Amino acid sequence: MLTWDNHNSVNGIREYARSARASVRYVPLSGPELRVAESDLVAALGAGRGSLARRWDRAGRRGLFAYPAQSNFSGVQHPLGWVELAHQQGYDVLLDAAAFAPTNRLDLSVVRPDFVCLSWYKLFGYPTGVGALLARRTALARLRRPWFAGGTIRAVSVQGDWHRPMDDESAFEDGTLNFLSIPDVEVGLRWLDSIGVDLVHSRVGLLTEWLLERLTTLRHDTGGPLVQVYGPTTGAGRGGTVTFNLRHPDGTLVDERLVAREAAAAGFSLRTGCFCNPGAGEGAFGISRRSTRQRLLASVDTIDTYLAALRLPTGGAVRVSFGLASTATDAERFVAFAQSTYLNRGVGAESALPPRLRC
């Protein structure tokens, strides 16, 4: 069971489930804030109790529920209370904290998911590095690996054709661990502690609210809005990720690739596209299940033909993410850039863009 709002690195787990003949179910997003209605979640967690009962495993578990504590698309913070809700319905829970952890405190003595994944490097403002899957020992003990790799076995025989896995987490740590980078995590966490994650949280919250307030009030001379925000437009129940498209005065969208190019030239590091979160994108752009199924089969040769078949005006959006290094000047400079570059600017520059090869 997954929410539409998930990074592809979580969506992809559905294929493991499918190959083991488990059923896969998605809980939809609803409304312009791109949140999950709790009634939909409760219904999905409890649905099909009779018919699925046979599929409970020997430990009495019904399956895995995976959701992000914070959306990497919209910044929405989904309730941490869902961990307990899903536990009550017999699910293990995988909480994706990759977008949440850099600017929010996650107390695992209070919120007790079975698995938490996160990317340490995102906490420290690095573009890449090591991440982790935290697992409760009881949850780890339920996992079965269909293969082994170097470093994961106690003993193995080639001629005897048997292997004995390690009993602890090292049974899941393939190959040579990145021991040159792992110590950086400790240094990074100490540094973050010295600043205080609560302070980072308040700073990011203030910058986000200020940016949302400014972006949603900018208007072309025609009176039309410059910015279309996807997700919550106030600071409540969200983190420091603001996703939007810019509009021309005639209401058409500015191609996000153009914004990426022009923003980079002005010194801004923005992410554009679909952010590896197709479900939140489908929710934001109002794409229905029927159209994705038919269109996907008919016309997925290139991303441009896929977008045209879905009648989508553009391939994604623009994302501003605040973190511990962001300042008020950054936010002010970005708003000034958006105003001076896109306010009252007509359509035209898009025609020079190359075809899209991937989303």
Residue closer to ligand PLP, measured from CB, 276 or 335: 276
Give the residue at shortest CB distance from ligand PLP.
Answer: 72
Nearest alpha carbon to residue 285 among 239, 330, 244, 224: 244
- Kindly state whether residue 9 participates in binding ligand PLP, applying the rule CB under 6 A: yes
Q: How far is the CB of 184 from ligand PLP (least distance, A)?
A: 15
Task: Look up tokens 């896109």; give the residue.
Answer: 342
State how far the Cα of 154 lies from the Cα of 143, in Å rounded to an integer: 17
Tell me: does residue 7 bind ligand PLP (CB under 6 A).
Answer: yes
* Catalytic residue from among 117, 274, 276, 359: 276
Q: How far apart are CA 113 and CA 66, in angstroms?
A: 10
* 123 binds ligand PLP per the rule CB under 6 A: no
Comparison of 119 and 314: residue with beta carbon closer to ligand PLP = 119
Euclidean distance between CA atoms 165 and 145, whole angstroms: 9
Residues, the chain: 359
Site string for ligand PLP, 51-80 (x = CB under 6 A): -----------------x---x--------
Which residue lies nearer to ligand PLP by CB, 68 or 90?
Answer: 68
Q: Where do the DSSP E strands lie in the chain?
A: 2-3, 26-27, 63-68, 91-96, 115-119, 131-135, 153-157, 162-165, 227-230, 241-246, 271-273, 317-321
Q: Is 239 in the site for ligand PLP (CB under 6 A)?
A: no
d(CA 214, CA 226): 11
Q: Are 277 and 72 in contact (CB under 8 A)?
A: yes
Which of residues 9 and 299 has its CB atom nearest to ligand PLP in the complex? 9
List strands edge to edge, sheet with 26-27. Answer: 26-27, 2-3, 63-68, 91-96, 115-119, 131-135
Residues 87-116, mask of contacts with ligand PLP (x by CB under 6 A): ---------x-xx-----------------
The interface with ligand PLP within residues 129-188 (CB under 6 A) comprises 131
Decide whether 343 or 359 has the Cβ nearer to ligand PLP: 359
Q: Is 274 an annotated catalytic residue?
A: no
Instruction: Tell me which residues touch ligand PLP (CB under 6 A).
Output: 7, 9, 68, 72, 96, 98-99, 119, 131
Q: Which residues are catalytic?
A: 276
